[in-house]
Amino acid sequence: MLRRIGPDTWEGEGPEYLHVVFNSIKDNTRYAEMLQGRQNVHKDDWYLKWIDIYVQTIGNLPVFKDILPSVLQFLCEELQHERFKEVRPTAMIVASRLLSAILLHVEKDVPSKHEGLALDVMTIHASTFVSIAFGKAFANDEWAEARTQTRKLIKQALLTDVKCTLSLASQLCSSTDKSSQLSSPIVHEQIWKNVYHEIQPGDSDGVAMLVSTLAKISHMDDFKELAFVDNFRNSHPSHQSALAGVNKALAVFRSGFLDAVARYSDLSLPSIVADLLRRADVVKHITMLMLSPVEMIQETAQALAGSAFDVEVRLDCFRALLDNYPDATLGGIMEFLQSYTQYSVVVPEACSLSQALARCLTDVIEVLCSSPSGLLLHEEFLRAHGESLAVLLPQWWRLMTKALSVIFSKTPRWAVFFNNEDMVLWMRDALIFGRDMLAQRRVIESGALVLSQRQAGPGMKLSRAGRKMVDDLQQVLLELARWLRLTDEELLHQSFALLESLLSCFKETNVRPSPAALQKLQKHVDDGRKKGPGHLLTRLDSTRRAKLEDALNAFDEDEDVQIISHVVPRLKKTAQIPAPKHASSSTLAQIRTPLEKPNQQAPVPLRKSSTKASISNYFTAHDQKKLNAESSLPQFSRQATRVEEKRSAASSTRPTKNLKTVIKDESSSTSRRSVGTSSSSEDEESEEDGDAKGLASLSKLQRTPTIKKPAERRQVKMLIDAPMGGRNRTIELRNKREDARRTQLRMKPDISGLHRTLLSWDYDYAGPYPPGDKLQLIRVPDRFVDHEQYQKIFEPLLFLECWTQLGESKEETLETYDCQITSRQFTNDYLDVDVSIAGSLQKDWSLSDVDVVLFRHPTSNRGALGKVQSYRTTPVAIQATVRFYLKGSDPGLQINTSWRVSKVLSLATLHREYAALMALPHYDLCNTILQPKITRPEVLDVSEIQQTMRGYNVNEPQARAILGSLGADGFALIQGPPGTGKTSTICGLVHLFLSRRPRSATAIHAGRTGGPADKEPVKKVLLCAPSNAAIDEIAYRLKEGVSGSGRRTIHPKVVRVGAVRSMNVSVRDVSLEYLIDQKLDANPELRGSSGEAGTAIARLRAELESVKRLRQQKLEEMAMIHDNSAKTFALEEEVKKLNKQRVNLTHQLDKMKDKQKSDSRTLDATRRKFRAEVLQEADVICSTLSGSAYEYLETYDFEMVIIDEAAQAIELSSLIPLKYGCKTCVMVGDPQQLPPTVKSLDACKFGYDQSLFVRFQRTNRMLFIYSVYNIACIPI
């Protein structure tokens, strides 16, 4: 009747009547007797079904709130008495279904006025519900359905608490309604406590429920009240108590989770925990918890994964999950990343969350991508999961780039809430994570393309997935540009390194960065050009600015305009000059830019020729009107492109009229990189930069740049010689870009030609000349027509020398070791293989990226030459990546094959000599090197000569040599036999240069602290020699002091760079490494404790293994016991203690490994900082010719380079230090001594053993010689 009539049954009745009806039935003696005698009571049996129907009919009546507690009291307490044995499970099913129906509305986001009532009633009977759901006494078939229903109810209750807390947290972070009153979240703490307490060993369903519930808040850490200060301003007072309520709720949710999981896994076999992971979504949720910023949550989830796979540390747990459940694990990571990107942009700070994310994702990237054990490098893994990886990997990449963009965007704002030193470490780690992620882009792309049998690599057509991956980096680049304003040098170093990698990626894939990013980066370059106190200088030093400008040039849209000439005659109204039909390449070759120095060679054309349609095709009728307008401009032209006018077929035979070029002056228009930049916004940004201090200053740079309406699309134009007055900014800008490009080509030339040639050789080939195409050997002439001839002569000779050095290894007994190929990847014409070298190695045997190795097959004896790309030592084995040149065929280096590896050649010096050869056309002194010319030295003042003699204790020829060399523009030669005072002359020359150099200045800007770009480095001398012995001798003399004014001894700051073990002991105290160590010793706290961390890690691993062995023994002992509960209980307690120790040791091990990595990074940063300080303060830097190529010297411009024993260095070695753009190079030597050492006798026959010093003498027979003591100074 109740089901049929429904709520209308109670129409017109008072609330007391409904109570009377219910009580009269439940208290009826006959009804109780019926329930007691009932067998196998079903949930739909009318004996209890009426209660469900009764409650449904009163659900919308006010009396419901009074009757529901009575109903639950009857079902959960009265009917649970032992006399109702058969009814008890059904009663709990009915009670659970009643409450579940109420909470189901909430779960489906349908408002319910009885939600709180249901949870309150459930809390009253929490012990009953939880005991039945999880208690050991109810784990039988009779209670199976009741347990299922009560667990479902409890999960709904827990999720309701979580949703309520998440909703309140969202309201706290919202800035839209600060005046509304907020109340603390209602959390049913007793339910949580009871659930955690009742989880039993082996209860996988219960643990799965807890894991899935806590995964909803896996991304949340406690709210910091300090971070909400701005939110609380002008908000309702209840907001502060609501924040405390959220933190309390989070504590309730987490408390007990660790103990519950420990109780579950303590006595559970690994197979039981492994079965837990096979349940739906459990792996995904455990993965999310492993990414949590809360240590306890992260460690507990990690313990579950570790128990299932018998692994411990975080990295190994991620590896096990990804190897066995890649889809679910990646799904969990991606869901967490989605939560992160939504959550971190609304909360005031998410630093701890970002730290945990970056730390864990670094582990994930290493597991998937790092050679040689990366899962994406294993064909078996790719074949097994290729279909899902093709979908998941690009999604994972996109979410990681979004997360990285958020980090770069928001971290500066978060910095104000934390200690400055802590933020530097965290921001550094975030940047390194970005670099690690970007470095593995091709591996991830190849994994996504496994089904299409394609591999990603430079030079290959970019796949659709690859294109999307690169496009995903656009926002990262834009946000990273803000970090170039950082004042911390280490952060600036890491930021710029990531920036270079990003721009290189865009260039390599032919994807253009967004206009906003290019505009922001160009502003850093422009700021570097501004001078004076009114302008804010960029934090980037000159070297970084040049690198950045050269990188930006690769994305210059204006590829179709070529400067032909620029003249500045009288200003005219119009210019009507016949246009040439096309510009010949020979004409272009003779162009010289205004900034080019007289002794520079003719530069390469500024732009490549275009293959687009002819110019006339780009002009509309409106554009043609503009072309015919009156103006005066510099001359431009489309290189090697015919200029035609559209004409009809009838008029096609008529002569072409002269093209009148009167175009709007582009110098006054906005250039490509400044398009859309508001000058006012730039000024505002500069002011903010000036006022802000430290890391927190970035928080003021967060607004999106104001982008004006894009300028009209550039057209291909031909600008004829048109007079123009004043500066031409277009030409100035192009000259600066060209200068930046030349600087980069001078510092980082392409040396791949050496690698291709060397790796194509057959090591077993016998002969004085290398195999393959015959080398075209030509004797070194005294003069060269151009660099093309220079390279044509020297490159084959260098290859011949390289072949001879390689041949020497055949006569030696090589150290050979067994290795196994673990993975391989094709890159253009190369094959990169990852190898693992096991077994013991000689103590001093190692590999570097300049080593050439020989691989031999142990049975067929076939061999292949490879170049080492990377090398690292692990506790298990030595791992290396080696590159081979394919030469049209695979050398047979298959995965899992074994080979014998030997080191046969070091390319350290050959690399630098070949680089100098390729960079020569971009040297300032290139023309002088190709065609040496004598310039008669200026007449020296007698009084100046005498003053130099007295001041530096030298004779007259030495004084003349010092003064003559110092005043030389280009090269100067000082020659003399042994014992004639060449070293004293060098010392005097160095000191005179130092005494005359201007003092360095530091730019001061009000409102901000100085950065590295503000301090101008002192002018330095680079002093080189071909051998360590020679440079050590002169370095020692300078270190001991040189005679100065008034015969006082002057001690310049000398720094000897290079390998300390190769130096004489007399100069090791001025070696760069020694001076860095001295600074570290003065600041021992900066050294970190990487050595101690390594010892601690080894100790923790040993303890962990001991605990695992002991635990296994106890478990085996327990299995052997029968009918001895006391003994079993004692063993169980011991196992629990051992499990606790295991978890604690694992936590310590992870912490120590993270600390070791952090300390190592800190030490690297500290050494980099101190190295920069030592070099910045140095007056004289001493190095071998080969050692002068060290990358850390590229920051400095050396006005003077001195080469001692120059007659004993081959010419290419003497070119190495000249890449720093020196104004004067002084070569000191004795051509009568032995020539340079060259291994190849055949190369010597063609003059390869001739020094640059000797060639200069041979070229200029008429020497201006100072004859006293046979000391001569010859300016070139």
pLDDT tens-place string over residues 220-231: 999 998 888 888
Q: Tell me the one-letter amino acid at 403.
A: A
pLDDT of residue 1170: 92
The encoded tokens of residue 1081 equal 């010793």
How confident is residue 103, by pLDDT bands cut at 50, 70 and 90?
Answer: confident
Instruction: Give the span between the Cα atoms of 798 and 946, in whole angstroms.
Output: 46
DSSP H or E run through 1227: strand 1224-1229
Structure tokens at 1056: 């000897």
Phi, psi of 1063 (to 5 degrees): -90, 155
CB within 8 Å of 1231: residues ≥ 6 apart: 975, 1207, 1251, 1253, 1254, 1257
Distances (CA, A) of 756 to 280, 459, 829, 1008: 52, 16, 9, 50
Top pLDDT among 677 and 740 is at 740
Tokens of 964: 């003559």
Smallest Cα–Cα separation from 369: which of 484, 456, 285?
Answer: 456
pLDDT digits (tens, 9 = 90+) for 366-410: 999 887 788 998 888 998 998 999 999 999 999 999 999 999 999
Give the per-residue pLDDT at 679.
Answer: 34
SS3 category, 752:
helix
Q: Is 853 helix (H, G, I), strand (E, B) or coil?
A: strand
Q: Which residue has the higher pLDDT, 757 or 1011?
A: 757
> Smallest Cα–Cα separation from 904: which of 795, 768, 764, 799?
764
Nearest alpha-carbon partner for 75 in 100, 52, 56, 59: 52
pLDDT at 871: 87
Q: Please, are residues 538 and 490 in contact by the beta-carbon 8 Å criterion?
A: no
What pLDDT does residue 452 have? 72
CB-based contact 68:121 (threshold 8 Å): yes
Flag whether pLDDT at 726 surpasses 80. no
pTM over 0.85: no
Banded model confidence at residue 840, pLDDT cuts 50, 70, 90: confident
For residue 142, pLDDT beyond 80? yes
User: What's the whole-number average pLDDT of the chain?
Assistant: 80
Which of 953, 1183, 1170 has the alpha carbon at shortest distance from 1050?
A: 953
CA atoms lying within 13 Å on the CB side of residue 819: 31
Rounded CA separation 672/1165 (Å):
36
* Statement: 750-922 belongs to CATH 2.40.30.10: yes
**How high is the pLDDT of residue 418?**
84
Cα→Cα distances 743→731, 740, 1134, Å: 18, 5, 69
CB 139 within 8 Å of CB 193: no
Asked whether residue 614 carries a pLDDT value surpassing 60, the answer given is no
Q: Which amino acid is at 492?
A: L
Please determine, for residue 239, whether its predicted confidence score (pLDDT) is greater than 70: yes
> Residue 893 to residues 457, 749, 760, 821: CA-CA distances in angstroms?
19, 30, 15, 7
pLDDT of residue 733 exceeding 80: no
pLDDT in the model for residue 669: 37
Beta-bridge mates of residue 1180: 1021, 1054
Position 148 scores a pLDDT of 92
Residue 1182 is predicted with a pLDDT of 96
Q: How far apart are CA 930 and CA 630, in angstroms?
A: 46
Distance CA 746, CA 915 (A): 9
Question: pLDDT at residue 935 above 70?
Answer: no
Output the six-digit token pair for 910.
């050959």
3-state SS, residue 1042: strand
Which range, 124-138, 660-674, 866-880, 936-950, is most confident? Answer: 124-138
Q: What is the pLDDT of residue 619?
A: 38
pLDDT of residue 211: 96
pLDDT at 407: 94
Contact (Cβ atoms closer than 8 angstroms) between residue 235 and residue 304 = no
CA distances for 957 relative to 964, 991, 1207, angstroms:
10, 17, 20
Is residue 902 left, alpha or beta, with left meaning phi > 0 and alpha meaning psi from -120 to 50? beta
3 state SS of 222: coil
Of 895, 817, 802, the residue nearest 856 (C-alpha): 817
> Both tokens of residue 225?
């009240």
Is the pLDDT confidence value at 974 over 70?
A: yes
Residues above pLDDT 70, as percent of the chain: 78
Q: Find the mean pLDDT for residues 1120-1130.
A: 83
Task: Please report which confidence band the pLDDT of residue 599 belongs to, taking 50, 70 and 90 as the band edges.
Answer: very low
Query: Higher pLDDT residue, 552 or 688?
Result: 552
457-491 residue pLDDT tens: 444 567 888 899 999 999 999 999 988 888 888 88
Amino acid (one-letter) located at 780: V
> Is the CATH number 2.40.30.10 carried by domain 923-996+1018-1085+1178-1275?
no
Please state whether the peptide bond connecting residue 1231 to the residue before it is cis, i.e. omega within 30 degrees of 0. no
Per DSSP, 85 falls in state: T
Contact (Cβ atoms closer than 8 angstroms) between residue 98 and residue 167: no
Amino acid at 17: Y
* Owner of token pair 């010719």: 1185
State the Cα–Cα distance between residues 323 and 321, nearest whole angstrom.
6
Residue with tokens 């740049």: 705
Share above pLDDT 90 across residues of the chain, in percent, rounded to a whole number: 37
Angle at 234 between CA 229 and CA 236, to 5 degrees: 95
Q: Which H or E element spans position 29?
A: helix 29-37
pLDDT of 634-652, one tens digit each? 333 333 333 333 333 333 3
Neighbours of 1107 (CB within 10 A): 20
All structural domains of the chain with their residue ranges: 1-167+183-195, 199-215+240-324, 750-922, 923-996+1018-1085+1178-1275, 1088-1173
SS (HEC) of 993-1033: HHHHCCCCCECCCCCCCCCCCCECCCCEEEEEECCHHHHHH
- pLDDT tops 90 at residue 1031: yes
Burial 57-74 (b: 16+ CB within 10 A, else e): bbeeeebbeebbeebbbb
Q: Is the pLDDT of residue 628 over 60?
A: no
Question: Token match 């008669």: residue?
Answer: 936
Q: Which is nearest to 146 in space by CA: 73, 100, 82, 90? A: 90
Show the beta-strand stretches assigned E in 736-877. Answer: 816-827, 830-837, 851-856, 863-873
**pLDDT higher for 1092 or 1040?**
1040
Strand partners, 1272: 975
Mean pLDDT of all residues in 665-671: 36
